[in-house]
Structure 1
Amino acid sequence: MVTVKAVVAGSFGGPEVLALVDAPDPVAGAGEVVVTVEASGVGYVDIMARRGEYGPLSVPGFTPGVEIAGVVTEVGEGVDGGWLGRRVFSQVQGGGYAQKVLVGADSLATVPEGVGAGEAVAIGVNGLVARIGLERAGVGRGDSVVVRGARGGIGLMAVQQAAALGAEVTAVVSRGRPDDRLEEFGASRVVPSAEAGASAEYDVVLDTVGGAEVGAWVSRLRPNGRFVLCGAAGGAPDTAFGEALLENYHKSPTFIAFSLGSLPGPAIVPQAQVLFEAAAAGRLRGVVQEVLPLAQAHQAHRLVEGGGLFGKVVLTP
């Protein structure tokens, strides 16, 4: 039997549960393609899945990974043969940490020339979360936007895209001194969370961190402000954030919780295409912090879990 290499979480737990194994060589069925993977993105959702905290991947023995970039090397029945040999990106429902992955043909976005596979996954899910989150918050020119977790994958995408929309962006980082590089990505102001200043107010808070401070940030919305929770690197919000919403009822705050997993793959393809075209034109930058082989998936998880990254961790076959 022909096999490929894939990473499997044999049980829920720490990074040590991840192991590189032989898996069956995938065969494209009707409406499917096989993508030979060049890069797999490592995100916090993978950490949650490994711990058993992410519902869609709740059975031990799964392969993590929700985004891949690579080349279409086989097409199934009913799929346009023009996909063969094309460089693509796709969000997948697990299975991304592998040499080959089965993907529905209607969930493929073309990766244009000039955008590498690593950059594609650095932009991919992170860029989509940021783009759709900012869209749902109605961010526009002149808005004051604060991005929590601005050094991370979603944060970097949000800073760039909010600035491109004409917003004034405050980038909040979780530790250490402000990173001047964030100003290169469009931030007007960069501050550690401990020094963010309780008196400042914002039209939009885009929060990739979550945790116990959500309520405090809700309280810093201006009248008719919008809060977008699109990550939980700091854990689930304290239930007291509901009290903050009620205490600020007079300001008519809007609270939006957004997970990209709530949207089917075909629905996000046009959005992904816009992001990749922007990258090819030099208007958006995907930042790769570290590239590791599949066999070091456990180390990739330790890096993401440890925090303090600037950009994306990527696995390659």
Structure 2
Amino acid sequence: MKSLRSHAPGGPETLVMDELPDLVPGAGQVVVAVKACSINFPDTLIIRDLYQFKPARPFAPGSEIAGVITAVGDGVTGWQVGDRVIGMIGSGGLATQAVVEAARLFALPDGVDFDTGASLLMTYGTNYHGLVDRGHIKAGDVVLVLGAAGGVGLAAVELAKAFGARVIAAVSSAEKAELARAVGADDVVIYGRAPFDKAQSRELTDAFKAACGPNGANIIYDVVGGDYSEPALRAIAWEGRFLVVGFPAGIARLPLNLTLLKSCDVCGVFWGAFVAREPLKFKEQVAELFAMLADGRIAPRIYARFPLERAAEAITSLENRSAVGKVVVEMG
């Protein structure tokens, strides 16, 4: 088998393609022939030792896979060789094979291709948990999504529209604005590149307020952080919910007096911990996502596909924020 692995902390250019023996499942495990692995922002962090979880080296990044079961370990029930599956595995996805705990797999629905399957769980799962469990979204809410043209942001726009919200997509270019509108955004705000001085920050606040309307945003879905967060918070509605999802632009410093003035909540969205703590609820949400996929309410937008040999480029495209939608590595 081939595996693109991290042997020492560093950027995508430090990853090494290794030839390894074929994997063997242990008790409760299966071996999956990986067909597709989507790239997510944590993959840019985990190889630099900047993520919450630090696997023992050497390891392959890549946490979200789709493939076919090729071997089944002792004690596994409900799965057999040849089953098409998707799953979240933490790390190890950028390889032609992966050993996976059987309980962490889901059957890939008929008619859904591997690239789509590998692009579903993390982005849409994060957003479902964020919007429903943490944001308490309801029909008629105004939702402002920062970073709305990335994989997570586009999925947030789609889901918020599916839940009946009015969605404002905040993006960094006209091209990204067009894509956000294509997936359902009602309005867009195009922002410049941080850092911002006070005048630029105020200008962005005014743009957010104009787009959200006189009552402000009931939910702010912050996938970006940095200098973008405070201008968004200033556009929040009375008793709104500010959801902290990610911070590729840096960890924001929010003036807490704003939370008092708007009587609003600042809520963290740690999807990985939610999945570990509430696996049954997570499975119910995945079933709902499959139903939404089947009836066309959601559809992952795949921006680029790379072979395993060029997976470092795939990670770089997320790191430099050039990706518009999902990035997938195909194993060939």
1:304 aligns with 2:318: yes
8 Å Cα contact 2:25-2:99 kept in structure 1? yes
Specify every segment of 5 or more residues in structure 1 that has no aligned partner in the other structure, as ranges. none
Partner of residue 229, structure 1: 244
Match for residue 19 of structure 1 among 6, 16, 19: 16
SS in 2 for 1:247: helix
After superposition, the C-alpha distances for 1:31-82 in whole angstroms (9 at most, x for unaligned) are 1111111100111100011222013125442210111011112211121254
Superposed CA RMSD: 1.8
Name the residue aligned to 2:227.
212
Q: Is the 8 A contact 2:22 2:97 kept in 1?
A: yes
Match of 2:305 among 291, 299, 302: 291
Please point out which of 144, 154, 163 is paired with 2:161. Answer: 163
For the 8 Å contact 1:115–1:276, the answer to whether it is kept is no
Query: Cα deviations across residues 278-306 of structure 1 (Å, max 9, x unaligned)?
Result: 21332211111111111111111221112
1:313 counterpart letter in structure 2: V
How far the C-alpha of 1:166 sits from its partner, in A, is: 0.5
Point out where structure 2 has 5 or more consecutive residues left out of the alignment.
193-203, 211-215
Q: Report deviation, 1:270.
A: 2.9
1:80 alignment partner, SS class: coil
Q: How many residues align?
A: 310
Residue 35 of structure 1 aligns with an amino acid whose one-letter code is V
Give the partner amino acid of 1:214: S
Q: How much has 1:140 moved relative to structure 2? A: 0.8
Tell me which amino acid in the other structure corresponds to 2:11: G
Letter in 1 for 2:170: V
CA distance in 1, matches of 2:38, 2:270: 17
Give 1:94 deviation, angstroms: 0.9
**Partner of residue 313, structure 1:** 327
Cα offset for 1:215? 2.4
In structure 1, C-alpha distance between the alignment counterparts of 2:176 and 2:16, rounded to whole Å:
37
1:168 CA drift (Å): 0.1
Which position in structure 2 is the counterpart of 1:131?
Answer: 128
Q: Which of 163, 177, 182 in structure 2 is aligned with 1:184?
A: 182
Residues 236-278 of structure 1: per-residue CA shift (max 9 Å, x gap)? 22xx31x2x3333132211111122213454433322321232
Secondary structure, counterpart of 1:248 in structure 2: helix
CA contact (8 A) 2:307 2:330 kept: yes
Contact 1:12 / 1:51 at 8 angstroms: preserved in 2? yes
For residue 266 of structure 2, give the secondary structure of its aligned residue in structure 1: strand
Change in CA separation of 1:74 and 1:81 when aligned onto 2, cut-off 3 Å: farther
Identity %: 33
Counterpart residue number, 1:142: 140
- 2:72–2:79 CA contact under 8 A, matched in 1: no
TM-score after normalising by structure 1: 0.92
Partner-residue secondary structure (3-state), 1:30? coil
With normalisation by structure 2, the TM-score equals 0.88
